[in-house]
Amino acid sequence: MTTTMKPGRFGVFGGRYVPETLMANLIELEAAFEAAWEDKSFKADLAATLADFVGRPTPLYFAERLSGEWGGRVFLKREDLTHTGAHKINNAVGQALLAKRMGKQRIVAETGAGQHGVATAAACARLGLSCRVYMGALDCERQQPNVARMKLLGAEVFPCEGGTRNLKVAINEAIRDWVAHPNETYYLLGSAVGPHPYPTIVRELQSVIGIEAREQFSRREGKLPDAVIACVGGGSNAIGIFAPFLDDKVALFGVEAGGDSPQHGSCTLAHGRPGVLHGAFSYVLQDGDGQITGTHSIAPGLDYPGVGPQHSALKDSGRVRYEIETDETALAAFHELSRIEGILPALESSHALAFARRYLRENKGKTVIVNLSGRGDKDLPSIMARSTGLPARDGGANAR
Amino acid sequence: MPADLNSTFDRLRAVYRKALIPFLVSGYPTRERFREVLRTTAQFADVLEIGIPFSDPLADGPTIQAASSKALAQGVTLEGTFAELREHYPKSGPPLVFMITYNQVLAAKNFIARCNEHRASGLIVPDLPFEEAGDLRAQCEKAGVALVNMIAPTTSESRARQIAASAHGFIYLISVAGTTGARGEFAPETLTYIQKTRALTDKPLCVGFGISKAAHIQQLRDHADGFIVGSALVNAIDAGKERELLDELRAACG
Ligand SMILES: Cc1ncc(COP(=O)(O)O)c(C=O)c1O
């Protein structure tokens, strides 16, 4: 299943472009992960944690009423039902176990929507590790419930005021912290981005989504779905559900955030150019001089000018199609799922839903699995602000 | 062909002097002041390092981050920097080394050839570790531009040997694990680490990150060939006291 050509590369993409100070850590991490992944007792620990702490397997839910509305068969992979409410926990518990095994006591992480921060805080609390989370100041405002949750779980939350005040800035700060404390710190990266070995570690830990979904679907339906759809920020929930389907005759769609217009969002794969951001060679939203450009999305978890290197390779090979949904279509899908199925989806996941609706309009009667990567509780302040006409804290002013 | 860094270090070694390598953020704090600072700094420097500002630097602390954002906000670019240097850098000035991130290198057209035209003797690409540098190193070698390798306190001995073996120009020794920024005193481990690296190679070793005053240079000078001063110089420029700082550092370097 692995599509890595040489270690750390997905075709031409990937690699590790970091300050020399971090190279020793990455080399150590790569060896530690490989050893852990071969170790039955580590795997057993992880499986038990996923079952009893995270609540896996998550259901594959047939959304019957929504299917009726949209004219096809829609299945939802219910990552929103995991402990802490998003797929991020699959990766957080896995890497926290790895950190503990490596003897690292201090965890730093970045977070956009706050879901990775909450998941990391929970995983650290459970293992008795110290946890500091960097979060853009804009995201702290628009995802207040998650800031409170992280603090209650014992994490220290560090708002980042610089620049775009979103996920990109949080990653910059987390990496700088790691550069300053390389020996004692484990950097628990939350998406399938960053220098090798992170994209591989995160994919392996998130593949549980796709492995379960494929099994659940084929047991129930006796075949494979026509399409699998997931939203793409850094790309972890998407690569997690895609990975086990890569060799199948199943259409795969990644959905990027178009913001308030498709030209002005965070559509890294659609509008970016290959370059280096946060340690990997991948598509990057940048200007002609190689400066990273500002992004915009109502969904903080998608509001990022980079993307995991394996997605760049999958785009270029044509195996996965990357599509765009806007703030508006995502919000419409949010409300539709809430009213028709009684499920409040995360705004990130709502982008995947919005594309599913469009896909079924153009491909009547098809069967799709949508990765419902998280629940929408965290988004209530920003959604309520919009529906009451208050100014939404959606970062429009910070996007270039 | 740009001035050769090797001959600079040979000359300094022959007279037991250390290289003073000031670092300037291109275009900081304003175009006019930068020109003035550039001329002053050229009088004191053995090698001059010019940083091309980047939107998302990972290895920089608050001082250089702030300086870079200010320069970017004023529209400083690589092309603009080339133009400024062509107009305002003295012909007799010391060899120039550019510090630039790998993404900016990838974005620039004919970058190495242009460096060569603009008298850049070397390049520091802080997010391009030795293993990933193959392509750029080959281009640099062809053009006679030194791609400066970096060693950090976390670098293993076997890795440091490899890095030293393929080094051109000088080796940039990162003094402490951390980002750039002026610092108080160096811990005894810093000295031990510099001595250990010294034992691995005869190539010029220049220490950077945190060098902020003459006392730092005096503490480390017997074990290195040069000193890179960035954040402290930015602070001095802000206070209008760059000449005083450069004077003090120059004296410590001999
Ligand atoms: C619920 C949810 N879905 C998706 C994402 C996007 O991340 P990724 O592309 O890594 O899955 C996030 C990120 O915060 C999230 O919270």
Chain B hits for A286, CB-CB cut-off 8 Å, are 103, 107
- Dist. CA A72–CA A271, nearest whole Å: 30
Partner residue opposite A24 with nearest CB, options B55, B79, B156: B156
State the best of B77, B101, B154 to mutate against chain A, taking most chain A CBs within 10 Å.
Answer: B154
The alpha carbon of residue A318 is apart from the nearest alpha carbon of chain B, in Å, by 24
Note the pLDDT tens digit of each residue in A275-286. Answer: 999 999 999 999
Reported as a pLDDT band with limits 50, 70 and 90, residue A287 is very high
pLDDT of residue A230: 99
How remote is the CA of residue A89 from the centroid of ligand 1, in Å? 11
Mean pLDDT, residues A4-15 = 84
Ligand 1 atom with the shortest distance to the CA of A202: 10
In terms of CA atoms, which chain B residue is nearest residue A287? B107
State the best of A9, A12, A13, A17 to mutate against chain B, taking most chain B CBs within 10 Å.
Answer: A17
| Confidence check: pLDDT of A3 > 60 | no
By alpha-carbon position, which residue is closest to atom 13 of ligand 1?
Answer: A301
SS3 category, A60: strand
Query: CA B53, A110, A352 angle in degrees (round to 5)?
Result: 105
Residue A194's identity, in one-letter code, is G
pLDDT of residue B118: 81
- Dist. CA A41–CA A21, nearest whole Å: 32
pLDDT of residue A112: 92
- The Cα-based distances of B22 to B68, B94, B150, B240 in angstroms read 16, 11, 17, 16
Is the Cβ–Cβ distance between A260 and A327 less than 8 Å? yes
Q: Do A276 and B127 make contact, defined as CB atoms within 8 angstroms?
A: yes
How remote is the CA of residue A373 from the centroid of ligand 1, in Å? 7
Note the pLDDT tens digit of each residue in B10-41. Answer: 999 999 999 999 999 999 999 999 999 999 99
Ligand 1 atom with the shortest distance to the CA of A238: 11
B207–chain A Cβ distance below 8 A for any pair:
no
Tokens matching residue B211 = 């060098």
The best mutation among A373, A375, A378 to test binding of ligand 1, ranked by most ligand atoms within 8 Å of the C-beta, falls on A373
Q: Do A277 and B131 make contact, defined as CB atoms within 8 angstroms?
A: no
Mean pLDDT, residues A203-229 = 98
What are the pocket residues of ligand 1 if the criterion is a CB atom closer than 6 Å to any ligand atom? A 86, 88, 112-113, 115-116, 191, 231-238, 301-302, 346, 348-349, 373-374
- Dist. CA B34–CA B41, nearest whole Å: 10
Residues in chain B with pLDDT < 70?
1-3
Q: Which residues of B are catalytic?
A: 49, 60
B218–chain A Cβ distance below 8 A for any pair:
no
Secondary structure, 3-state, chain B = CCCCHHHHHHHHHHCCCCEEEEEEECCCCCHHHHHHHHHHHHHHCCCEEEECCCCCCCCCCHHHHHHHHHHHHCCCCHHHHHHHHHHHCCCCCCCEEEECCHHHHHHCCCHHHHHHHCCEEEEECCCCCHHHCHHHHHHHHHHCCEECEEECCCCCHHHHHHHHHCCCCCEEEECCCCCCCCCCCCCHHHHHHHHHHHHHCCCCEEEECCCCCHHHHHHHHHHCCEEEECHHHHHHHHCCCHHHHHHHHHHHHC
SS3 category, A342: coil
- Dist. CA A228–CA A358, nearest whole Å: 14
pLDDT of residue A393: 53
pLDDT of residue A397: 37
B249–chain A Cβ distance below 8 A for any pair:
no
Q: Do A18 and B129 make contact, defined as CB atoms within 8 angstroms?
A: yes
How remote is the CA of residue A167 from the centroid of ligand 1, in Å? 11
The one-character DSSP state at A52 is I
| Confidence check: pLDDT of A107 > 60 | yes
Note the pLDDT tens digit of each residue in A346-395. Answer: 999 999 999 999 999 999 999 999 999 999 999 998 898 887 765 555 54
Question: Residues of chain A whose C-beta is under 8 A from some C-beta in B?
Answer: 15-25, 162-163, 168, 172, 175-176, 179-183, 274-279, 284, 286, 288-292
Q: Do A279 and B155 make contact, defined as CB atoms within 8 angstroms?
A: no
Give the whole-number percent of chain A exceeding pLDDT 70.
Answer: 95
What number of residues does chain B have? 254
- The Cα-based distances of A338 to A39, A82, A299, A324 in angstroms read 42, 18, 17, 22
Count the Cβ atoms, other than its own, within 10 Å of residue A293. 17
Say which CATH topology domain B5-252 has. TIM Barrel (3.20.20)
Partner residue opposite A20 with nearest CB, options B56, B150, B178: B150
Which domains, and CATH codes, for chain A? Answer: 24-50+88-202 (3.40.50.1100), 57-85+206-399 (3.40.50.1100)
- The Cα-based distances of A363 to A226, A227, A356, A357, B215 in angstroms read 10, 10, 10, 10, 73
- Dist. CA A300–CA A104, nearest whole Å: 29
Chain A hits for B72, CB-CB cut-off 8 Å, are 291
| Confidence check: pLDDT of A1 > 80 | no
Chain B hits for A290, CB-CB cut-off 8 Å, are 54, 101, 103-108
> What ranges do the domains of chain B cover?
5-252
Ligand 1 atom with the shortest distance to the CA of A349: 3
The alpha carbon of residue A168 is apart from the nearest alpha carbon of chain B, in Å, by 8
| Confidence check: pLDDT of A399 > 50 | no
Ligand 1 atom with the shortest distance to the CA of A237: 11
Chain A hits for B175, CB-CB cut-off 8 Å, are none
Q: Is A20 among the catalytic positions?
A: no
Note the pLDDT tens digit of each residue in A30-76. Answer: 999 999 999 999 999 999 999 999 999 999 999 999 999 999 999 99
In terms of CA atoms, which chain B residue is nearest residue A177? B178
Task: Identify the active-site residue in A349, A350, A373, A382.
Answer: A373
pLDDT of residue A374: 98
How remote is the CA of residue B103 from the centroid of ligand 1, in Å? 25
- Dist. CA A111–CA B190, nearest whole Å: 34
Q: Which residues of A37-76 are buried (b: 16+ CB within 10 A; e: fewer)?
A: beeeebeebbeebbeebbebbbebbebeebbeebebbbbb
